[in-house]
Amino acid sequence: MNYEQILLEQSEAFALHLGDRIDRMPERDDSHRALATAFACELGIEHAYALRILFATGAQNAACAMLHVQYDALVRAAWYAYAASDADFQAMLDPDSGFTLPHTGRMVHDLKTRLADEPGLAGLVKPLLAMNDAYSAALGDFEHGGINPMHRTGSGFPVDLFDTVVRSSNGLMYLSFRLLARQGPPSDFIQSIDEALAGFDDALPMACFQDPSRVG
């Protein structure tokens, strides 16, 4: 078994482990904010699953594009949870309001502003800010058929890029599960998600978010 297969198997095991934990979650909040946040978190988790399938079947460029989509879903989840106003949610629920969601770049800016007032959000927001600064342009290239995937088509897909994308996806997936775990009544359940990290260090980032040279 080669390195790529090993990392994908570790990643799948990590996802199943987190999923087993979240299945034991107490009742969820049914507010519009919590429901929107949970939906976006679950969508991001689904994107992570698709990314692993794409890599496993040799669709490496599509897998890189999927990381960008996964990142956007988590940004939206975080924005719903911590930056969207009550008026935003009222407008979203009104089909005649003409409301459109802000671009994810604007959402990231709103989260950065919120972080200044609420330092406790750093564990979620700082990785999103770092990834936005380091990877957005490069990953968008894969999504829209830019220069990066054309280069990879001729020279092959490097293991270090595979490693960065899969680990980054795992990190975003963990953050999605963690934010999902917060969409319920206050409890110590969140600790169960954090404890799920044990034994999966070889499949996790977060330092890779801080090295933009590894994507491109």
Q: Which pTM does this prediction carry?
A: 0.87
More confident: 214 or 141: 141
pLDDT above 80 (res 186): no
Q: Is residue 24 part of a domain?
A: no
Instruction: Provide the token pair at 22.
Output: 């979240």
Q: What is the per-residue pLDDT across 29-38, written as a single tens digit (0 to 9) for each?
A: 999 999 999 9
| 136 confidence band (pLDDT: 50, 70, 90) | low
pLDDT above 80 (res 177): yes
> Which region holds residue 180: left if phi is over 0, alpha if psi is between -120 and 50, else beta?
alpha
Q: What is the per-residue pLDDT across 13-63, written as a single tens digit (0 to 9) for each?
A: 999 999 999 999 988 899 999 999 999 999 999 999 999 999 999 999 889
Per the structure, the count of domains in the chain is 1
User: Cβ–Cβ contacts within 10 Å for residue 178, how many?
Assistant: 19
Instruction: Provide the token pair at 139.
Output: 């990953």
pLDDT above 80 (res 66): yes
pLDDT above 70 (res 99): yes
Range of the domain at 105: 3-18+29-214
Q: State the Cα–Cα distance between residues 57 and 59, nearest whole angstrom.
A: 6
Q: Is residue 132 part of a domain?
A: yes
Q: Is residue 23 part of a domain?
A: no
| Predicted local confidence at residue 4, as pLDDT | 94
Query: Which letter, b or e, does each residue of 50-80 get, where b requires 16 or more Cβ atoms within 10 Å of its Cβ?
Result: bbbebbeeeebbbbbbbbbbbbbbbbbbbbb
Q: Is residue 42 part of a domain?
A: yes
